[in-house]
Amino acid sequence: MHKCTYSLIPTPLRHILKVFKALSDETRLRIVNLLLERECAVCEIMQAMGISQTRASRGLTALHNVGLLKAKRDGLWVLYSIDEEEVRKSYACLTELIRNALEDNQLASLDRQRLKGSVRESPCIERARVLGR
């Protein structure tokens, strides 16, 4: 079997491969689903999806690293959102494709519903206390 190496792939195509690789994970795709609703802190992602802080942070980092997300600090929290400008410039229909694909997905719908009740409290505040912030 022939293994493809990144060094032989032109740079723009290499970046597209990284983006699709980031989106090929269920957790990361569920995170994008939530961020299409609104910006979120890690603790809100954790609450909505019922996952650990580590898993949420790793998913957010992977999506941020390929340029799909932007992050901004707001007091104790780092808020993540879809980088609409970057996505629109490079991947015009990507967010609409994801939104349409997950529209009738039961788990994605449950995540969106739980997001409505999530708050920027407990895990984020507790973590901030542990870190001395």
Q: What is the mean pLDDT of residues 45-72?
A: 95
- Structure tokens given for 126: 């507790």
- Whole-model pTM: value is 0.79
The predicted structure's pLDDT at residue 71 = 96
* 87 has pLDDT over 60: yes
Domain boundaries, the chain: 12-131
The predicted structure's pLDDT at residue 1 = 45
**Phi, psi angle pair for 22, to nearest 5°:** -60, -35
- Structure tokens given for 39: 């910006």
Q: Is 12-131 in CATH node 3.40.50.1360? A: no
d(CA 109, CA 128): 30
* 61 has pLDDT over 60: yes
50: left (phi over 0), alpha (psi -120 to 50) or beta: left
